[in-house]
Amino acid sequence: MKVDANFDGGNIIVVDVKNPDNIRLKIRKDSQSDDHCQWFYFRLTGGKSTPCQFSIVNADQATYPEAWPTCTLVTSHDRQNWTRLSTQFKDRQLQFSLTPATDVVYVALFAPYSYERHQDLIAWSLSQRQCELFASYETPDNHQIEILKIAGAAQAPKSVWIIARQHPAETMAEWFMEGLLEALLGEERHLHQSVLATCNFYLVANMNPDGSVAGNLRTNGMGIDLNRAWLNPDKQQAPESHFVLQHMANTGVDLFLDIHGDEDVPFAFIQGCEGIPSYNDALQARERQFKAELAKASGDFCVDDGYPACEPNEAPLNIAGFQIGARFNCLSLTLEMPFTDNKYRSDAVSGWSPQRSKLLGKHILAPIKYGFFSHPPVGLILHLIGFGPIELFFADVGAFLAITARK
């Protein structure tokens, strides 16, 4: 038998694989960093029908060891379909058993999202009529960061920025973005034309491709946690944040969403920007409305649980969600999803999954549409005067009636 991680996003160090009853492995620390390790993703070859017992021997040294007691992993034979695998945290090691049904099986902390799939997502998005490449940046490790712009009306007054996967192991964030892009550009795009009449979307599906390909937990190729580098991003050490912030300054920001995953918290929730200097009652009301509308759209979203709110004027402004809210005086939110499952809607077979992440990405349009819809509807006016497409007319009529009925 052989264990390896010699592929995109892989991470494992083999200690001993001679005895299938005692396969001992270690998680490699993030490249250029001594501070972080938790993500692992490896392949077992030649173990078909053989009961195997695995131990991650340095699990107690992980960045978030408190997550291990409730952790379940994912396994796959084809890297398309992932099922849950139980674990136990015992003797400071993460232990799990597996009897592969085929000669090759993959094991990961969560369903991976490869750089190859990322490139497919970008190519598909740019082939759609309403999507354009707003800007791109080549990272130090020669990967691309793309800012996609999706627009409906030429003079849409609002700028919505959504970024994902600052922390490369949080692959559910890019699954979320795939769901969002499919909703805006795919077969159901006509349902969302009304929001494009008032909003230009600027989307970054993967903020950290260098760390993603390297199999890192939190850092980029320079060893920097990007979500601690937004106060004054260094062009050499955190070029990804520097690049995106420059373009935000050019467009302005009316709504910012930063998409993440949390290794320990077992539900999906939003962290607001409480604690920034400009936080006030009006911003708090918009934040609460956004959460309430998302909860109506998605049974997987939790309104009442989450991180503790920051005290007034004590928000850490090096974190994206707080910095963007303070800098642009806008609604700025950080959405977190679980690695394992949603305790309020548990699924023993798949737990939290790519499919649930994608669906939440689709549902995020509901509070955006509600919060930014203008009266009277732009699409309806444009059509009546001969400039708007018929699908935008029907989408706006339906959205306008639905929203008016709820107010």
How confident is residue 370, by pLDDT bands cut at 50, 70 and 90? confident
391 within domain boundaries: no
137 within domain boundaries: yes
- What is the count of structural domains for the chain? 2
Pairing of strands 52-56, 23-26: parallel
313 within domain boundaries: yes
Q: Which of 151-165, 237-251, 347-361 has the lowest mean pLDDT?
A: 151-165
Q: Kindly state the tokens that stand for 312.
A: 């007034």
158 within domain boundaries: yes
Residues 306 and 332 occupy one common structural domain: yes
Q: Indicate the residue among 59, 74, 108 that finishes a domain.
A: 108
Q: 252 — alpha (psi -120 to 50), left (phi > 0) or beta? A: left
Q: Indicate the residue among 46, 77, 108 that finishes a domain.
A: 108
Q: Are 31 and 214 in contact (CB under 8 A)?
A: yes
390 within domain boundaries: no
170 a catalytic residue: no
Q: Indicate the residue among 108, 132, 151 that finishes a domain.
A: 108
Domain that holds residue 195: 115-372
In 3D, which of 94, 109, 89, 76 has the Cα closest to residue 10?
109
Residues 85 and 144 occupy one common structural domain: no
Residues 205 and 225 occupy one common structural domain: yes
How confident is residue 391, by pLDDT bands cut at 50, 70 and 90? very low
Residue 154 has what pLDDT?
66
Residues 156 and 16 occupy one common structural domain: no
How confident is residue 379, by pLDDT bands cut at 50, 70 and 90? very low
Residues 273 and 357 occupy one common structural domain: yes
**Whole-angstrom Cα distance, residue 152 to residue 134?**
15
CATH number, residue 101: 2.60.40.3120
Residues 184 and 294 occupy one common structural domain: yes
Q: Tell me the mean pLDDT in the region 341-368.
A: 96
Residues 311 and 190 occupy one common structural domain: yes
Q: What share of the chain is helix, strand, coil (3-state, %, to 5)?
A: 35, 25, 45
Q: Are 363 and 97 in contact (CB under 8 A)?
A: no
What value does the mean pLDDT of the chain take? 92
Residues 92 and 122 occupy one common structural domain: no
Other C-beta atoms within 10 Å of 88: how many?
Answer: 13
| Whether the predicted pLDDT of 171 surpasses 60 | yes
Residue 395 has what pLDDT?
45
How confident is residue 403, by pLDDT bands cut at 50, 70 and 90? very low
CATH number, residue 322: 3.40.630.10
Residues 328 and 181 occupy one common structural domain: yes
3-state secondary structure of 252: coil
How confident is residue 401, by pLDDT bands cut at 50, 70 and 90? very low
Q: Are 194 and 379 in contact (CB under 8 A)?
A: yes
Beta bridge partners of 104: 45
Q: Which of 170, 240, 336, 391 is catalytic?
A: 336
Tens of pLDDT along 105-142? 999 999 999 999 999 999 999 999 999 999 999 999 99
Q: Are 183 and 279 in contact (CB under 8 A)?
A: no
Q: Tell me the mean pLDDT in the region 310-321.
A: 97
Rg for the chain, CA atoms, rounded: 22
Residue 405 has what pLDDT?
40
3-state secondary structure 264-308: CCCCEEEECCCCCCCCCHHHHHHHHHHHHHHHHHCCCECCCCCCC
Residues 144 and 176 occupy one common structural domain: yes
Q: Which residue has the higher pLDDT, 151 or 161?
A: 161
